[in-house]
Amino acid sequence: MRLFADPGLEASMGEEADLRTELFLRSLELAYLEERARAYAPLKMLIDFVGAFALLVALSPILFVCALLTKLEQPWEPVFFLQWRLGHRAKPFRIFKFRTMRPARETASHGKPLAKEDHEYRVTKLGAFLRKYKLDELPQLFNVLSGSMSLIGPRPLSLFDSASIDPKYYNRYAVRPGMTGLWQSRHSSFSDGELKLRLDCEYAERIGFRIDVEIVLSTIPMVLRGEERSNAARPGRTGRDRAA
């Protein structure tokens, strides 16, 4: 016996039921991952606070020099670039970075106006250096102290990129975003948005002291080598530079 006279309506109701089932299962998975993260949370928060404070004190001369050079290079622009990102449970927050790009309103050396997408022409000489050694991300230590970020975790996505990712990768929001994560410690210069999201979810599933130590030990030599990041991966896209 058919439940609906209209086959199209029956198919539509079936798709809606499947979607509700999928959303329910995903909510259960997120709840499970958050429960695992909650068990490690007290130790992780302590490590984050102590680590971020110690790094700010130890790196304060470098932060001062970077801020001074950034201001000298672009005296009319703010030293810090602030951008909205999505964090834990997809809650928006503002991330801090040293400014590494010229405003879009400026022109290229050829005299042609810069399109908003022409990021490689907007990156300053100092900005390229700061990006290569990840010095532009040092102000995110203030984000860690405020609790909006962690030292280790998935890198927070911009609002634009967050809107385009597949819901199957929403598990990445079960943990706080970090200054460096599983993808960054393995593939800093490899442009593959899907791989990045898979590794973000893997971190959320494996979160713990051991994997955090592994990521730190992998990140340190990568930072010292100075990885190029001209093609930072974005979900579903390749070959586009990141903002500021």
* Three-state DSSP state, 239: coil
- pLDDT for the residue numbered 120: 67
Beta bridge partners of 90: none
Strand order in the sheet with 80-86: 92-98, 80-86, 157-158
pLDDT, greater one: 106 or 217: 217
Region of poorest pLDDT, from 131-140, 145-154, 222-231: 222-231
Q: What confidence tens digit (pLDDT) does each residue in 77-120 have?
A: 999 999 999 998 889 999 999 999 988 755 444 444 444 445 66
Average pLDDT, stretch 150-177? 90
Average pLDDT, stretch 163-192? 83
Q: How far apart are CA 117 and CA 196, in angstroms?
A: 22
Average pLDDT, stretch 136-164? 93
Alpha-helix runs per DSSP H in the chain: 7-58, 60-73, 119-122, 125-132, 140-146, 159-162, 182-186, 193-206, 209-225
Average pLDDT, stretch 128-151? 95
- pLDDT for the residue numbered 140: 97
- pLDDT for the residue numbered 16: 53
Statement: the pTM of the whole predicted model exceeds 0.85: no
Per-residue pLDDT at 163 exceeds 70: yes
Average pLDDT, stretch 147-176? 90
Q: How confident is the model at residue 148 (pLDDT cuts 50, 70, 90)?
A: very high
CA distances to 40, 150, 163, 185, 226 from 21, rounded to whole Å, are 30, 32, 22, 35, 46
Exposure of 23 by Cβ count < 10 A (0-12 exposed, 13-18 middle, 19+ buried)?
exposed
Average pLDDT, the chain: 79
Q: What confidence tens digit (pLDDT) does each residue in 16-29 have?
A: 555 455 555 566 56
Q: What confidence tens digit (pLDDT) does each residue in 46-83 have?
A: 999 999 999 999 999 999 999 999 999 999 999 999 99
Per-residue pLDDT at 32 exceeds 60: yes
Q: Nearest-CA neighbor of 157 among 236, 55, 69?
A: 236
* Three-state DSSP state, 123: strand
- pLDDT for the residue numbered 160: 86
Enumerate residues 6+ apart whose C-beta is below 8 A from 157. 85, 86, 165, 235
- pLDDT for the residue numbered 15: 54
Average pLDDT, stretch 4-18? 49
Helices 60-73 and 125-132 meet at what angle, rounded to 10? 150
Per-residue pLDDT at 1 exceeds 50: no
Average pLDDT, stretch 163-181? 89
Per DSSP, the residues of 96-115 read: EEE--B--TTSB-TTSPBPP
